[in-house]
Structure 1
């Protein structure tokens, strides 16, 4: 019996790979296994190689596995591209239609199953994904009734006849491969899971759920990979709470609509990726100057320009921190888990209203689209903080021709905010420099006071878990620093280093801007050497660490920017070489 294994399905985009993965993982989730999935797909609607890889475990996991136990292949290309990951003794379940062949040197069992033929006998080749699923499920020796239940839920809306045919497809695939293999494979029998069903979602879904819980009632956005699932989620959910999603003509309209709706008092967000964020920059400056709350989710992908729309990268950090012209206060936070995606959205909405600034929530493709097991979310911790939003009944009467001091100079730099139209809340709003009532002003003294007011209001800001630390050693051989989705991969590499006698600490920087200088400095001081891991070519996170916390003499960067996430073995090897 084994505690974990890795399963992958590959084929051409549009031939059922994603639905196969979805049903397979849903059934495993019902049994109580921990799952971590990653989808590799082409930047096209249909065609081009795609594969979904799922890591299955009896204990929590937060990284892609280095190797592969079972590969389900709909074409020879899937074998050629993915068989190098197969561990010795692995298994390939392939469609006999294309006469599958294992590349030379691959030590694996090949089961050629007439996947397409069985599906066509049942009425349509579309059911080949269920034949393939049944075959690989049977090899694991897992209860078929659990899988059939997942099939029923997937196809139930199409009627009992369709469900029955798909269940039969699963059965036929299972029977064929079991006859070939002589029964389930002992080497792939998983230890029993705890039986507790866990939440199983992608980061974008958790972001959407967190937004609803935070009181967001409007999303204005333009579809873009890998952010579109946030829109798709909220299109279904927001109307149930009196909200809506507006698909705008472009990202400029999306962000300006979000600014306007927030000004009107509605908690509003937008979401995009690097190209869309670039278009939003002028409007982000407007939000900073007019001190309007604004929440933006930026799901990073390969750039520049169109770049690699469906591949992993973490190269927008500088754009988020420095992108706007002029100088404004803004907050950039980086979730590092599915749970973070939920809780950080609540914090983002609260921070944007407490400080009246743009808040950018920075994810990456691996976190946004990777489907993972998630512990139950604690809704009792959700609180709504609208900051200095003054209700109409609390506004003092204004004298004739007097305006409300919307940009009043206060000790903490945060001014009272009103809903437009409230009696005695009359004020002016403009993107040019202004006085306390919002009237345009080019007075030098006023300019200094207003700039200082805006820029100083984030002094001392520290979000929840600004630097997530696992630092058991007072004087570690290595300190490994990451952000976003890299945390689980780093922890697996550290386990291997520990077995070799190398001590290491690990921090994930979650508050990117304003930078948590003192927290990071404290960790740097405890390490002999520092390795900073990031998916970009120019070491953007390392530059922030050196700028604000120092330690340049002992910092080394490990960079990966080929579109793929880090693997634990890569991090382990890099740390060994740099130690």
Structure 2
């Protein structure tokens, strides 16, 4: 019996690779296993190699594995591309229709199974993916029936006959491996899971659900990989809550429309990726100077320009902090798990209204599209805080002689905010510099007062857990630092290093800007060496740390920017070299 394994299915885009992984992983999630799935796909609708790697475990996991136990191949390219990941003792289940060839994979067993032929005999070759799931179930000592509930939900809309055909395909795949190929190994039998109910979702779904729970009732967006799922989720869900999604003509329109709706009092946001955020920068500056709440989601991908739309990267960090011209208060937050993506999105709307500034939720492709098991969310934790939002009774009566001081200079930097139509709340709103009532002003003293007021907001920023810390030692040989999706791989590497006698602490930065220097300094000062793990070429997070707390002599970067997420062994090897 084993406690975890890694399974991958590969083939050409458009031949059911994603649905194969979905049925397999959802069924195992319902059996109580923890899962982590990561898809490799091309930036095209159909064709091109794609694969879905799914890690299954009896305990929590948040990253893909170094190696592979089972590879399901629907074409020779899958074997050629992915067989190097197979460990000794691994298995390839390949469709015999292409006469599979396995080379340079010592200790790996190839089973040639007529997936397509078996499926065609049952009615359609499209069911070859269910035949492959059946063969997999036999290897893992699972029952074909374990997948039937998911099959019924997935194909039920096509009629009972189609459901029964797919169930037959799973059973045929299992029986072929056992009866025709005489498979009898038990070293890949999975330990039974706890059968507890957990959600199974991608980070984008958690962000969308967090926006809904946080009171957002309008989203303006333009589709872009890897952010589109947020919009697609809310297109289905928001109307049931009296809300709406509008697909705009471009990202500029999306951001300005979100600003307008927030000004009107509706919690609104937009979501995009790096190219879209570049277009939004002027509008984000408008949010800053008009002190209009705004939430923007940036799901990082390979850049620059179109770059690698479907690949992992974390290179928008500097742009999100410094991308706007001029100087405005801004909050940049970076959730590191699917759970955090949900709760942080709720908090983003609160912070945007409390501090009357743009809030950017920074994600990355691995976090946004990686699918994982999630413990039930606690909706009792959710609070809606609207900040200094005035009502009719709280607005002073100026007998109609003066405009409302919407941009009143206050000690906190936060001015009272009113919504359009409020009695006694009339004021001017403009993107040029203005005085307290909003009227344009170029007076030097006013400019300084308004700039100081806006920037002063961040002095009082309260952010729950700006750094996720795992501190095992008062003095560590090595401090590992990361942000967003690298948390899972760092946590795994920590365990390995500790087993090798290395004292390791971990700090995962969740508030990128304003940077939590004081919270991090205690860990950096007590560490012998510091390794910053990030998916970019220039060490952007490492440079931000150096700017804010120094430690240049201690900091080393572990970088990866080839479009793929870190594997645990890559980070482990680099850490061993450092110490």
The TM-score normalised by the length of structure 2 is 0.99
Task: Confirm or deny: 8 A CA contact 1:534 1:559 kept in the other structure.
Answer: yes
CA distance in 1, matches of 2:99, 2:292: 62
CA distance in 1, matches of 2:391, 2:52: 51
Task: Confirm or deny: 8 A CA contact 1:292 1:357 kept in the other structure.
Answer: yes
- Per-residue CA deviation, residues 494-536 of structure 1 (Å, 9 max, x unaligned), is 1111121111101101100000010111110110000000000
CA distance in 2, matches of 1:386, 1:366: 32
Q: CA deviation at 1:106?
A: 3.4
CA distance in 2, matches of 1:504, 1:540: 22
Q: CA deviation at 1:398?
A: 3.2
1:224 aligned residue? 224
Task: Confirm or deny: 8 A CA contact 1:479 1:505 kept in the other structure.
Answer: yes
1:377 aligned residue? 377
Matching of residues 207-246 of structure 1 within 5 Å: 207-246=207-246
- Per-residue CA deviation, residues 1-58 of structure 1 (Å, 9 max, x unaligned), is 0000000000000100000100000110110000011110011111100000110000
CA distance in 1, matches of 2:65, 2:462: 34
- Per-residue CA deviation, residues 352-379 of structure 1 (Å, 9 max, x unaligned), is 0000000000000000000001111110
Structure 1 segments unaligned to the other structure (5+ residues): none
CA distance in 1, matches of 2:75, 2:405: 67
1:25 aligned residue? 25
1:46 aligned residue? 46
- Per-residue CA deviation, residues 167-212 of structure 1 (Å, 9 max, x unaligned), is 1111111111122443453011011101102111000000011111
CA distance in 2, matches of 1:516, 1:184: 56
2:179 aligned residue? 179
1:404 aligned residue? 404
CA distance in 1, matches of 2:549, 2:182: 61
Q: Displaced runs of 4+ in structure 1, greater than 4 A?
A: none
1:262 aligned residue? 262
CA distance in 2, matches of 1:224, 1:492: 32
- How has the CA–CA distance of structure 1 residues 79 and 499 changed in structure 2, closer, same or farther, with 3 Å as cutoff? same
CA distance in 2, matches of 1:333, 1:266: 22
CA distance in 1, matches of 2:440, 2:573: 58
1:552 aligned residue? 552
CA distance in 1, matches of 2:52, 2:206: 20
CA distance in 2, matches of 1:496, 1:470: 15
Task: Confirm or deny: 8 A CA contact 1:462 1:511 kept in the other structure.
Answer: no
CA distance in 1, matches of 2:547, 2:571: 24
CA distance in 1, matches of 2:184, 2:51: 24
Matching of residues 7-22 of structure 1 within 5 Å: 7-22=7-22
2:159 aligned residue? 159
CA distance in 1, matches of 2:150, 2:105: 37
CA distance in 1, matches of 2:132, 2:190: 19
Task: Confirm or deny: 8 A CA contact 1:84 1:106 kept in the other structure.
Answer: no
Asked if 1:317 is matched to 2:317, the reply is yes
1:505 aligned residue? 505
Matching of residues 457-536 of structure 1 within 5 Å: 457-536=457-536
1:84 aligned residue? 84
CA distance in 2, matches of 1:496, 1:534: 19
Partner of 2:100, secondary structure, is coil
2:201 aligned residue? 201
- Per-residue CA deviation, residues 245-274 of structure 1 (Å, 9 max, x unaligned), is 100000000000000000000000100000
1:347 aligned residue? 347
- Per-residue CA deviation, residues 208-247 of structure 1 (Å, 9 max, x unaligned), is 1111100000010000000000001111111111001100
- Per-residue CA deviation, residues 378-430 of structure 1 (Å, 9 max, x unaligned), is 10010000001112343233323421111011110101111111111100000
2:390 aligned residue? 390
2:99 aligned residue? 99
- How has the CA–CA distance of structure 1 residues 128 and 408 changed in structure 2, closer, same or farther, with 3 Å as cutoff? same
Partner of 2:553, secondary structure, is helix
Partner of 1:429, secondary structure, is coil
Structure 2 segments unaligned to the other structure (5+ residues): none
2:113 aligned residue? 113
Partner of 2:18, secondary structure, is helix
Asked if 1:59 is matched to 2:37, the reply is no
Task: Confirm or deny: 8 A CA contact 2:412 2:460 kept in the other structure.
Answer: no
Task: Confirm or deny: 8 A CA contact 1:218 1:269 kept in the other structure.
Answer: yes
CA distance in 1, matches of 2:184, 2:213: 44
Partner of 1:72, secondary structure, is strand
CA distance in 1, matches of 2:300, 2:184: 41
Q: CA deviation at 1:90?
A: 0.4
| Count of aligned pairs between the two proteins | 579
Task: Confirm or deny: 8 A CA contact 2:83 2:105 kept in the other structure.
Answer: no
CA distance in 2, matches of 1:187, 1:171: 22
The TM-score normalised by the length of structure 1 is 0.99
- How has the CA–CA distance of structure 1 residues 327 and 465 changed in structure 2, closer, same or farther, with 3 Å as cutoff? same
1:72 aligned residue? 72
CA RMSD of aligned residues (A): 0.9
Task: Confirm or deny: 8 A CA contact 1:17 1:50 kept in the other structure.
Answer: yes
Q: CA deviation at 1:549?
A: 1.0
- Per-residue CA deviation, residues 285-306 of structure 1 (Å, 9 max, x unaligned), is 0000000000000000000000
